[in-house]
Amino acid sequence: MLEIRQKAKELLESGKVKVVIGYGKSTNNTTRAVFIRKPEDAEKLVLDESCVQNLALYLYKHEVKHFGKEAVVASLPVLRSMLQLGAENQIKDQEVIAIALTPEKKVVELSTFAEIEKHVSLFKHDLTAEEKQLLKKINAMTLEDRWEYWNKEFSKCFKCYACRQSCPMCYCPRCAAEVNNPQWIPVAPHQHGNLEWHLMRAMHLAGRCINCGDCAKACPVNIPLNLLTYQLIEEINNEFKYTAGTSASQNYVLSTWKLEDKESFIR
């Protein structure tokens, strides 16, 4: 933690960045995002097991970008999100400095997408054993039972949109869920509207989700939404050998076409 604070202080003192996005303690001792603009405030930064929010969410926000060049305390999900956001032209190369930890827990400064790509390749990002077990259980169900399972989970949703607001890949200025003329998705939290919302969102993230799990963490009724998107990650990987969040230069797989693409879905 001391090294993180020292690196943030150095970046601010040198003028290399104008704001450091990191984690800090709130008044009730929970962890929240903090925006450090003065070198002396770097002492407020913390980094422990409670620091799980994907801070890449703030990198393209006007309210943060107007401060000037940003640095971010970057966990593996944050780094992978940065690469995916770079691939989607939401952030530019060398626009953000990442303060990251090596596998040996040493602090490193990553200034370019190339450096981030090399760093990310040192890690393996996967589901927890508990999540794998639940996904295995869901996949072992019959289609009817699986349909019933997800409908039961979605029935708990009351359309707070915390899943959307916590996701770095949900950056549209106006979400389709908020368009009411014409109304694409029912606003009311009923079975039809909930099903449309969650399936639409999952498909919107297909080939883009880096599985940080923030959607599931943010859900106040504990719907395992990350498993829904992870299922699509598996499908995309199996069919196209494509993994989101590994390169800032790769094209979005569902917006490209190759002669060797399979056409077995056309029947």
Peptide bond into 224 cis (omega under 30): no
Q: Which domain holds residue 208?
A: 129-255
- Residue 116: the pLDDT is 98
**Terminal-residue alpha carbon distance, the chain:** 56
Give the number of C-alpha atoms closer than 13 A to the C-alpha of residue 124, restricted to the C-beta side: 3
Strand arrangement of the beta sheet that strand 107-110 belongs to: 31-36, 19-25, 70-73, 96-101, 107-110
Q: Are residues 144 and 238 in the same domain?
A: yes
8 within 8 A of 20, measured Cβ to Cβ: yes
Q: Are residues 64 and 135 in the same domain?
A: no
Q: Are residues 96 and 113 in the same domain?
A: yes
Domain boundary among 120, 151, 168: 120
Sign, Cα dihedral of 179, 217, 231, 259: positive
Q: Are residues 105 and 151 in the same domain?
A: no
Sign, Cα dihedral of 82, 72, 97, 90: positive
Q: Are residues 104 and 188 in the same domain?
A: no
Distance from the Cα of residue 154 to its chain's centroid: 21
Report phi then psi at 81, rounded to 5: -65, -40
Per-residue pLDDT tens digits of the chain, which is 267 residues long:
789 999 999 999 999 999 999 999 988 888 999 999 999 999 999 999 899 999 999 999 999 999 999 999 999 999 999 999 999 999 999 999 999 999 999 999 999 999 999 999 999 877 778 888 888 999 999 999 999 999 999 999 999 999 999 999 999 988 888 888 887 787 888 888 899 999 999 999 999 999 999 999 999 999 999 989 888 888 888 888 888 999 999 888 887 777 777 676 555
Q: Are residues 157 and 235 in the same domain?
A: yes
Q: Are residues 75 and 154 in the same domain?
A: no
Any domain includes 50: yes
Q: Are residues 27 and 107 in the same domain?
A: yes
Domain boundary among 88, 120, 152: 120
Any domain includes 265: no
Domain boundary among 120, 149, 178: 120
